[in-house]
């Protein structure tokens, strides 16, 4: 089985001509994982106010939640190359401006505005790398197994970036200053964001300027029903992603509260990182799941597993058991997210895939930010168990949603799409 996995991932990496594309896409998305924590630590240190730091961090998350789909839509319409190139340079400038303003003790309003600008201009390398790799696989005539492996690899790169990014920020803040971490993020944006934008594979997702001939008319009832069903399915997938993000946020609040209660606040980041490592490992293994197991079945299995594995959080009271429970819980995260992205690829037109992938990522970020804001005060007032209860509740909601929806009935796999079908597919 290990040999088959290696062969599959070699095929995926070969789609882009070698390891350069995944390398620059990984380094290009790393700043996104660094800026959230980096901005919090920087503003907290320079202003001396955790409230101000939280406000700036929230502004950055809000900007990214709103800006992600916009950047994705522009990439679908204009092509990834110009959009990512401009966004990466703008984002690097915004991060640099935030660092300068924080070091200069700028007013809170200006810091928050720069936080919004930083979030809005994120180049969305992760979602667009997914879109590009899927396009390369479909253009090469690869089957759903290869597409699934491509999404597994992209999901793993995301997980690693969100473990490594905060770790780099923590090291920089300890040995130097949080500003050093954000300066590194700005440099990565300029170099690796530009490299991702200019990579030859960007042509695989160049917008099709040729006029499409309309498809043959279909029955009126079918014309009305299919777009409506597709929109409902896409909204359900985005809601499930937001619920997963909310589970992340609630778990983060609970882990922070419990480690502080146990007198080991420094362990919170390590616990969360251990969960991310487990998620990344299981994400890579997802490529070995037989194609006979449908995406809908995987979605339901992942959400059920997340609910069952989250329940022990309600009774954990020691650091050792916290590590055990959280690491095991991490095994359900990557399968859920990878499956959501795979289902999104199935049910939206290829011409809107970049926007839809960015919407999913924005949903995760937005859900995490909202849950963290809501469960943090709850954990402070009622203890870590209250925050973990929020995590269990969001897991239950995601599980119920997966059983209420049947996405694979809405649209065939995108391998069979035709230009005429794309022209009449409707807006998800």
Mean pLDDT computed over every residue of the chain: 86
User: What's the rounded mean pLDDT across residues 314-321?
Assistant: 94
**CA distances, 382 to each of 254, 261, 344, 387, 389 (Å):** 11, 12, 38, 8, 11
Q: Which residue has the higher pLDDT, 376 or 102?
A: 102
SS3 334: helix
Per-residue pLDDT, 301: 96
Q: Is residue 216 over pLDDT 50?
A: no
Per-residue pLDDT, 162: 84
Per-residue pLDDT, 68: 94
User: What's the rounded mean pLDDT across residues 153-161?
Assistant: 88
Per-residue pLDDT, 415: 42
User: What's the rounded mean pLDDT across residues 148-169?
Assistant: 87
Task: List Cβ neighbours of 340 (8 Å cut-off, separation of 6 or more).
Answer: 237, 240, 241, 244, 299, 360
Q: Is residue 419 over pLDDT 80?
A: no
Residue-wise pLDDT for 271-297, tens only, equals: 888 898 899 899 988 888 888 899 999
How many Cα neighbours within 13 Å face the side chain of 239?
A: 16
Residue-wise pLDDT for 345-402, tens only, equals: 888 888 899 999 999 999 999 998 889 888 888 888 899 999 999 999 999 999 999 9
The proportion of the chain whose per-residue pLDDT surpasses 70, expressed as a percent, equals 89
What confidence tier does 210 reach under pLDDT thresholds 50, 70, 90? low
Per-residue pLDDT, 221: 44
**Helix residue ranges, H only, 176-219:** 178-188, 194-198
What confidence tier does 229 reach under pLDDT thresholds 50, 70, 90? low
Residue-wise pLDDT for 242-278, tens only, equals: 999 999 989 988 998 999 899 988 788 788 888 988 9
Return phi, psi of residue 399, to 5°: -65, -45
DSSP for 251-317, please give it.
HHHHHHHHHHHTT-TTHHHHHHHHHHHHHHHHHHHGGGS-TTS-HHHHHHHHHHHHHHHHGGGGG--
Task: In whole angstroms, give the CA distance from residue 274 to residue 283.
Answer: 14
The proportion of the chain whose per-residue pLDDT surpasses 90, expressed as a percent, equals 55
Q: Is residue 411 over pLDDT 80?
A: no
Task: In whole angstroms, give the CA distance from residue 226 to residue 259.
Answer: 49
Q: Is residue 161 over pLDDT 80?
A: yes
Q: Is residue 421 over pLDDT 70?
A: no
User: What's the rounded mean pLDDT across residues 64-77?
Assistant: 94
Q: Which residue has the higher pLDDT, 425 or 322?
A: 322
Q: Is residue 5 over pLDDT 70?
A: yes
Per-residue pLDDT, 265: 80
Per-residue pLDDT, 426: 41
Q: Is residue 214 over pLDDT 70?
A: no
Per-residue pLDDT, 422: 41
Token reading at 346 = 């199935």
Per-residue pLDDT, 40: 85
Q: Which residue has the higher pLDDT, 415 or 53?
A: 53
Per-residue pLDDT, 406: 81
Task: List Cβ neighbours of 214 (8 Å cut-off, separation of 6 or more).
Answer: 420, 423, 424
Q: Is residue 124 over pLDDT 90?
A: yes
What confidence tier does 127 reach under pLDDT thresholds 50, 70, 90? very high
């Amino acid at each position: 089985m290990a040999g088959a996995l290696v062969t599959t991932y070699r095929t995926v990496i070969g789609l882009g001509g070698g390891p350069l594309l995944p390398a620059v896409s990984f380094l290009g998305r790393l700043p996104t994982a660094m800026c959230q924590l980096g901005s919090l630590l920087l503003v907290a240190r320079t202003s001396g106010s955790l409230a101000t730091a939280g406000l700036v961090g929230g502004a950055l998350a809000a900007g990214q939640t709103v800006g992600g789909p916009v950047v994705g839509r522009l990439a679908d319409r204009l092509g990834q190359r110009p959009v990512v190139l401009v966004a990466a340079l703008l984002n690097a400038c915004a991060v640099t401006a935030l660092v300068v303003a924080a070091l200069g003790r700028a007013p809170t309003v200006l810091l928050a505005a720069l936080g919004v600008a930083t979030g809005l201009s994120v180049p969305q390398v992760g979602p667009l790398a997914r879109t590009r790799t899927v396009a390369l696989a479909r253009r090469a005539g690869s089957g759903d197994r290869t597409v699934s492996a491509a999404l597994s690899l992209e999901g793993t790169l995301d997980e690693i970036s969100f473990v490594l990014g905060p770790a780099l920020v923590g090291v920089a803040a300890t040995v130097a200053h949080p500003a050093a971490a954000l300066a590194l993020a700005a440099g990565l944006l300029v170099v690796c964001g530009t490299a991702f934008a200019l990579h030859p594979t960007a042509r695989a997702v160049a917008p099709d300027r040729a006029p499409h001939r309309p498809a043959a008319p279909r029955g009126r009832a079918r014309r009305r029903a299919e777009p409506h069903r597709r929109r409902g399915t896409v909204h359900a997938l985005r809601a499930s992603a937001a619920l997963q993000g909310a589970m992340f946020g609630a778990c983060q609040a609970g882990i922070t509260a419990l480690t502080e209660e146990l007198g080991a606040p420094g362990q919170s980041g390590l616990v969360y990182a251990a969960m991310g490592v487990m998620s990344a490992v299981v994400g890579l293994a997802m490529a070995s799941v037989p194609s006979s197991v449908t995406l809908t079945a995987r979605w339901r299995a992942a959400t059920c597993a997340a609910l069952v594995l989250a329940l022990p959080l309600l009774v954990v009271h020691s650091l050792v058991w916290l590590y055990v429970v959280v690491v095991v819980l991490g095994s359900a995260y990557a399968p859920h997210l990878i499956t959501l992205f795979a289902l999104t690829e199935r049910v939206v037109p290829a011409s809107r895939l970049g926007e839809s992938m960015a919407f999913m990522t924005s949903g995760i970020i937005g859900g995490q930010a909202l849950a963290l804001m809501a469960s943090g005060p709850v954990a402070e007032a009622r203890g870590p168990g209250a925050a973990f209860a929020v995590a269990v509740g969001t897991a239950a909601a995601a599980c119920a949603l997966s059983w209420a929806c049947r996405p694979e009935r809405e649209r065939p796999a995108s391998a069979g799409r035709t230009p005429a079908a794309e022209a009449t597919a409707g807006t998800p």
